[in-house]
Structures are given as C-alpha cells and as structure tokens.
Structure 1
Amino acid sequence: MDKRSVVIPTNRECVDCIKAYVEETRKIQKKTGEECSFVLIDTSPEEVQETHSVLIDELKSEYKNIKIVYLNDQAQSEFLNKLVASYQTENPKLLYELLNPSGLSYGAAANRTFLVAAALGSNIVFRRDSDTLPQIKDGKFLFPSDIEDEYLGKNVCQIKDLLDKNDYANELDKMGNNPILMVGANYLGEWAGDYREMYEYDPDILKKHVWMNMPHKTSEEVDARIEYRYLQRNSDLHVEDRLQIVIDDLIEVGNFALKDVFLDVPLLPSEYALSMDYFYHSLFDELLLPKLYHNRHVQHFHTGERGSEAWFNRYHLGIAKSKVLRRYLAMVYKGISMNRERILKGGRIDNIEIAKIFEVVSKVSLEEASVLMDDLADLYSSINIEKYPKVAVLMREQKEEILLDAQKDIEKYAFLCKEWKALCEHASSIIDSLQ
C-alpha cells in the first residue's frame, strides 16, 4: 500500500505557503482515504522558526486528522544524530556531515525530507517549495496533487491516449512498461532577475551561459530551452489539464511528486552548488523512466535576499560549481546508460550500481572543467555591469578550490549513495523521534 507525505524544506518565512499545503495534504488524505502526512523542514532564522512553530500548533488543532511533522534546527539535529548513531556505517562522521552540511545545500535539504518521509513509512512524496503557492481558479486552490497522485505508478502505455503532445515517440516506445515515478509541473512568475538581466543586456550572453550546461546540444536546442524555460514561463495559466512526457529538467523540483526513487538513491548534497536537486531528472532519462509533465503550475515568488551583493556572489559562484559538477555528471550519465539493465530492476534503482559509477568518475581529473571555469569568468567579465566582472574575479581566485570541491563531491556522493537504501529502511525504526 502506498503511503504519502507532502514535504516542504524552507529557510524563510512561509506562513501562507504552509497553510495552503496543509490544506492540500487534507485533500489528498480525503481523496485517497489513506494517511498523508505534512512535513516542514525548517532552517530559517530563529525568530521565523518561532513564528512557524506557533502556526504549526494552531494547524494541528485545526487539522486533527492530519499528521503534521515540524522539524526546526534542533529537531533535525536530534533526528539525524539518532539516525546515524543507531545505523551501522564505517564513517558515521562523514555520513552526518553529508546529511546536515554546514553550508547551503539544496540536495541535502531535500535528502533530509526524504529521510523523514522514509521514517514515516512514505513511498510517495509531494515536494513543494516554500516560496510558492498554488494557482487559484474559480476561487479555489488548484492543487497539483490531483494530477500527481492519479498517475504515479502507472506506465506510458496506460496513458498514451491522454498525452497532449508526443514529441518523444522513440523514447516512449523504449520506456515500455517502466513505471511513472515522477510527475510534476513548472512555476508561474518572474524568472530569476540575474538571468533576465543577462538576457536584456545581450541575449547571446544568456545563450552562451546556458550552452555551457549542455555543450552537446545544438544552437537551436539551446534557443528552444531558453524560450520554454525562461521566456514563456509566466504565460501558461491553467485552462484545462494537459499531460506530456518530457525529457530534460522542465519539471520543477519545487512542484513535483516522486514515488520510490527517493528511497533508492539520494540527491547530491553538494554545498553552494545550484541544480543538484535535479539529479533525478537526468537519472530518469538515462534509465528510460518516464517523467510526466502537467500544467498545474504553482505561483513562484522571488524573495528579498536576491537583491544583495553577498547573495549575488554566492549564487553565481554556485553556478560555477554546478557547471563543473555537470561535466563530471555527464560521465556518470554515460555510465548509467551503458549499465541500464543492471541498475533498473522491477522499477527500482540499484543504489550500489550507481555508487560504483560515481566511484570511477571521482578518480578522473577533468581538464575541460578548468577550461570551463576560465570561459565562464571571461563571459562574466564581458558584461559591462559592475557586479558581473566583480564575481568573475572571485571565480578566478576560487577556481582551484571549486574544481577540487566538485571532484570531492562526486566521491562523497558515492559513499552516501552506497548507504542510502539501507539508511532509509533504518529510518523507520526511529519514527518515535518524529512524534
């Protein structure tokens, strides 16, 4: 029997978001007739955590039939300490550091929500970002989970006649009876100001920037990505439900649902690296696991910290590290594709086989990654807006550190991936930590 959780990791105030998605949790539970938990993983400032804690207590009184789990910094540390201390591993110190790193890590934040979901016995998670809200239609929230829960676990053959577009006919045939383990949509709202600024300064600058992430793509494919990922982002208001099988990372991680995969393999817990929480997208593509895209997009709101110089520098150094990591991951994905039959068994992913590929790739020193860092710094230097040449200087100064960190991250992930499935199974034994 499937068991569900709605999960939100946050590092900011998100009162309206919490209220909306607790209501979505209630609707899921009512529709399925089965338990659905609401989980908030909170790393926001202390005063914000206090506000959230008061709200959670109020919601527990209002939604008495919903299991609501709130973990602030202290509760997360207690949960992870108990989890690691009671789990048999050769390197508990490293395991804890990867689960709860000191620096910002989107992958680690998501992994913590997965472990909590595992402890609750959930094999389905509905992930929502804390800077989003559902669309409102006819005066009511338009919840993505209505679509997500209906199609998770089915295969393409069962829904082929419902698909809005069939851009990937060859891929659909290859997917055969592989289960749909990811269903999601996109965001509505302004695209990130820094990317918009690049585009308005010179569209070719943004194109070169995006192309560095996907050097194997053609010019036309990069143009198409910029069009659908950025330019059209705010224009797809819901009229009626549409479904589409997609390749690549069109599905946003802040508005999607997963089944089983998060219990098999973790996300990369790299610190200060963007987009590592999109690892499943490429993993699915290489394993020929279908990703179902729908159009119940959520409203996305950029928060105030994006305007500061410190945020800008950290964000774009994170972009640099993520571009380096993508070059290593390109080798990982090639290895996954070549070993598909050994990795995917009965709709489940063999974490040990994935870990072996990461171990091999971690021993490779990539000269092209060094060249990539130089090219990226040159690109930023060419933008005649003061903050871009400034961050280009930081990229050059921190180049060797970023290159070394990226290679170490691949090695560390191999360790975490090897432990992951057993760790998730063990998590259910300490469920009392979440009561």
Structure 2
Amino acid sequence: MTDARDDRRRVCLVVPTNRECAATLTEVVAEAEYATRHFDVDVCLLVLDSSDEYEAHAKVLALAPLVWHLDEPAQREFLQRVVHRAAADRPDLLLDLLLPAGVSYGACTNRAFLIAAALGCDSVHRRDSDLYFQTYEGKKIFPIHAELSALGKAARDVVATENRLDESRADLPVAMAGASFVGDMSVDVEDIRDHEAYYDLVSLWAAPGSTEDEKRELVAESFTGSAPFDGDHWTLSVVDPMRVDMHNISFSGLQENVPLPPATDTIGSDYFLIHVADRAGLPGLLHNRHIVNFHTAERKSDAGFLAYQLRFAKFILSMYYFHFIYQRMTNASPGDIAAIVRASTWQPREPNEATAELMEQAYRRLGGRFTAVADRIGANRDALLIEARRDIEDFALLIEAWAALIAAARETPLRHD
C-alpha cells in the first residue's frame, strides 16, 4: 500500500464480502487503476473481508496502488474507537448495529461510509462480490468512469446525454450516480418466474393501495436487469429507485447525513439512500455502465437457498414499514427521518400478519424445496414479525447517532498503532 497525495481528491471504492471472490477483486483492482489513470483522484480501495479467504484475497489486492483490506477484528477495533469517541447513547448496541453477528447488507455499507470518512474520501462507490464488468469493443466498462464524471459537481456542470432535471435543481450537487446490471436476477427467484404463484409472492412488496395493474407492473420490473452496454448513455435526473442497483452505486455527501438500515438477514436493507435521494429530489446520474451479476454456487445449496429465501421473506415484511417512511420523508432532515422511521413502528401489526400468512401460502403453492421456506415462515412467523419491527426501531437509533459517528470517524485513524 502506498500513501495518497494530500492535494488530490480521495474517493472510496468498496467491496464488502463474506465469500471467496478473488476474480471479482481482480476486476475491481483494475477499476481502481483505471480511475487513477483517467481522473485526478486517489482511489482508496476498501475491502471489508468477513470471509475465510483473507490470505487469498490479500494476494490479489497486493496489486492495487492504494488498498485497505480489513478483516472483522480490524473493523471491530476501528468501530470501537469511533463509538467511544462519539460518546453516543447505548454504545454497545450501536457497535452491534454496525457489526452484527448476522448478514447485514446495510451494516456492511455503513461501515464503509464511516471508514471512508476516516480516510477523508469525498464519495463512496460500492461494488459487490458476485459481479464482473462488461466488455465492449475489447475494453472493460467501468462504472466509476460515469460516477467520477458527475458526483459532487453542480448538476448544471455535468455533461450528460439527456437532462431530465428541473432547472430549480440545477445548482445542487449530484448526490448519487448509479446503474443496474445484466445477467442473473438481483434476487434469486428466476427459477419460479413462470409459476402461477410468482405473482402472489412478489406482489406482496407493493405499496398499500396499489392497483392490480400497478402490482403487475411492479412484478414485471422487479429484480430484472437492463440491456447490455452499447455506448454511454447518461441521464441527469432525480433517479427512479427501480432503475439502479446497490452493487453499482455511488454517493457523495448523502452517506454522511443518513445511514442505511442495519437489519440482519434481510435483502434490500441497503437501498434506503436511493429512496432518500428520490424523495428529496436530489440530482443524480443514471448511467448504463451496468455490472454483470451472477449467482454463486453457495446460494443454490440447500442451506444457502433456505437462508436466502428467508432474507427475501424478511424484506417483504420490512416493506410494511418502509412504504410508510417513503411516503412521508420528502425533503426531510435526518432528525425528521428518524422520527418518521420511529413512527412507522406504531402501526398496527395486523396488516403485516396478513402479509406473512399470504407469503407462507405463496411459498407453499410453489412446492418443492420452497415448502421448507413455507414451513419455516409458519413456525417462526411471530419471531419474524417482531424482528422486522425491531430492525426499524434500531434504525431510528442509528440515524440519531449518525452525525456523531461520522464526526468521530473523521477524527479516528483507521489503524490504531
């Protein structure tokens, strides 16, 4: 690892992983090198490694010019110092929310946000461990090219193919740049798309009051990718959350104002900031440098399949709260958002109980190995409902502590010598 220059803008390119992903890391190292060559930036490549393949990953990352490769003990030690410096209430719970025992897509990204603040990075660019980049005319298509061309600039200064942004927003900085994917569906339900119960299951995450036509449109669009790259097309706009994916996303500024939900074992818990940007009308860049998504073999194993489907079930139950929040947080401050998040937990539980019942029925109709998912939902329905609500309560607490945590991270060395 070499030192960054003090006079250059720093950006954080992050890959959280809990699995072997040397091939993906090789791709992301190349992306970091590309960005350093083509932009006046220092790219801090951050790998948050909870896998058993730390040494193998370290060999790949040794090729990167500026890299921080942190296993869980190193992450925990840094977070402990940040939480202590922040002097926030309930420090033990905050540490658990930042580095929980279970899988949390939001928590791993929150750690990246805090570490990026400690490194002095202006923006955070997230990739996942189950991707590679498209190739077009013999060259890799790196999303960071579009991201660094727009993030942090006043919207009116961004050169885009298309501009759909209202003129009243033109002087605001671009807060987010993102794209989607090609390849496997982002949620592993492709095998059942032709089953009659697919609609019954996927439509359960629709907003309350949605019409049948709106539900069918949602189901048709959910978790599917985009067209392969055929030349850059960049749209300046308030980005529709349905058009971007969290393994191909970047933020500037926004990530230091509001964290992501730290829910465990829940897919989709890391999409919250995309909705914040949408509801606040913040300028964003929607580009078409889509990553290639693939499903790992572990996800297809019996244990991996059951765990993933239960994460999907918790996602559906969490939407009861998130729809309430999204409908109310237009132009909201972090304090307002925390209050709205907390208020969402005061809703009666009966509607979500009905959703859990319909979800169990849909899984049972799918049959085969999905029957085990239905059985688990039936046996643990009350616990799943309680967890979904508690996750939202924990999120409110984290939002309230976030400003202090970011300020503390800025003053906390990443490594404690």
Same fold by TM-score, threshold 0.5 exceeded?
A: yes
- Of 204, 229, 232, which aligns to 1:238? 229
- Structure with greater proportional helix content: 1
Q: Which residue does 2:192 correspond to in 1?
A: 198
Q: Is the 8 A contact 2:172 2:282 kept in 1?
A: yes
Deviations 1:214-264 (Å, cap 9, x if unpaired)? Answer: 134444444444444456x3x612111112343233211101111111111
Classify the secondary structure of the residue corresponding to 1:3.
strand
- Of 403, 420, 424, which aligns to 2:385? 403
Q: Which residue does 1:130 correspond to in 2?
A: 129
Q: Which residue does 1:355 correspond to in 2?
A: 338
Q: Which residue does 2:68 correspond to in 1?
A: 69
Deviation at 1:180, TM superposition (A): 2.4
Deviations 1:386-421 (Å, cap 9, x if unpaired)? Answer: 222221121111111111111111111111111112
Q: How does 1:404-423 map to 2 (within 5 A)?
A: 404-423=386-405
Q: Is the 8 A contact 1:38 1:67 kept in 2?
A: yes
Q: How does 1:269-284 map to 2 (within 5 A)?
A: 269-284=262-277
Determine the C-alpha separation between the residues in 2 that align with 1:351 and 1:152: 21
Deviations 1:339-368 (Å, cap 9, x if unpaired)? Answer: x2xx3xxxxxx3222212222223333321
Structure 1 residues 387, 27: CA separation in 2 closer, same or farther (over 3 Å shift)? same
Q: Which residue does 2:202 correspond to in 1?
A: 210
Deviations 1:30-73 (Å, cap 9, x if unpaired)? Answer: 3332322110000112xx112112333x32xxx4xx32100012
Residue identity matched to 1:149 = L
Structure 1 residues 372, 193: CA separation in 2 closer, same or farther (over 3 Å shift)? closer
Deviation at 1:322, TM superposition (A): 1.4
Q: Is the 8 A contact 1:3 1:35 kept in 2?
A: yes
Classify the secondary structure of the residue corresponding to 2:415.
helix
Q: Which residue does 2:351 correspond to in 1?
A: 368
Deviation at 1:272, TM superposition (A): 0.8
Deviations 1:126-158 (Å, cap 9, x if unpaired)? Answer: 111111111122322111111111122345555
- The reply on whether 1:10 has 2:3 as its aligned counterpart is no
Structure 1 residues 373, 301: CA separation in 2 closer, same or farther (over 3 Å shift)? same
RMSD: 2.4
Determine the C-alpha separation between the residues in 1 that align with 2:391 and 2:171: 34
Q: How does 1:143-182 map to 2 (within 5 A)?
A: 143-154=142-153, 162-163=161-162, 172=166, 175=169, 177-182=171-176
Paired residues in the alignment total 407
TM, length-normalised to structure 2: 0.90
Deviations 1:192-231 (Å, cap 9, x if unpaired)? Answer: 68422221223xx222322211134444444444444456
Determine the C-alpha separation between the residues in 1 that align with 2:195 and 2:201: 13
Residue identity matched to 1:200 = D
Q: Which residue does 2:323 correspond to in 1?
A: 330
Residue identity matched to 1:4 = V
Deviations 1:306-349 (Å, cap 9, x if unpaired)? Answer: 11222222222222221121111122223312xx2xx3xxxxxx
Q: Which residue does 1:111 correspond to in 2?
A: 110
Residue identity matched to 1:250 = R
Deviation at 1:94, TM superposition (A): 0.4
Q: Which residue does 1:50 correspond to in 2?
A: 55
Classify the secondary structure of the residue corresponding to 2:134.
strand
Q: Is the 8 A contact 2:78 2:414 kept in 1?
A: no
Determine the C-alpha separation between the residues in 1 that align with 2:251 and 2:150: 11
Determine the C-alpha separation between the residues in 2 that align with 1:74 and 1:175: 43
Q: How does 1:377-388 map to 2 (within 5 A)?
A: 377-383=360-366, 385-388=367-370
Structure 1 residues 315, 2: CA separation in 2 closer, same or farther (over 3 Å shift)? same
Determine the C-alpha separation between the residues in 2 that align with 1:193 and 1:106: 13
Q: How does 1:280-299 map to 2 (within 5 A)?
A: 280-299=273-292
Determine the C-alpha separation between the residues in 2 that align with 1:372 and 1:193: 19
Determine the C-alpha separation between the residues in 2 that align with 1:74 and 1:388: 36
Deviation at 1:8, TM superposition (A): 0.6
Deviation at 1:275, TM superposition (A): 0.3
Deviation at 1:19, TM superposition (A): 2.0
Q: Is the 8 A contact 2:155 2:170 kept in 1?
A: yes
Determine the C-alpha separation between the residues in 1 that align with 2:59 and 2:187: 33
Deviations 1:93-117 (Å, cap 9, x if unpaired)? Answer: 0010001101111111111111111
Shift >6 Å, 4+ stretches = none
Structure 1 residues 32, 434: CA separation in 2 closer, same or farther (over 3 Å shift)? farther
Q: How does 1:310-349 map to 2 (within 5 A)?
A: 310-337=303-330, 340=331, 343=332
Determine the C-alpha separation between the residues in 2 that align with 1:369 and 1:404: 11
Determine the C-alpha separation between the residues in 2 that align with 1:373 and 1:98: 25
Percent identity, aligned pairs only, is 29
- The reply on whether 1:142 has 2:124 as its aligned counterpart is no
Give the gaps of 5 or more residues in structure 1. 344-349
Q: Is the 8 A contact 2:186 2:293 kept in 1?
A: no
- Of 10, 14, 20, which aligns to 2:27? 20
Deviation at 1:184, TM superposition (A): 1.0
Q: Is the 8 A contact 1:229 1:250 kept in 2?
A: no
Give the gaps of 5 or more residues in structure 2. 1-7
Q: Is the 8 A contact 2:9 2:42 kept in 1?
A: no
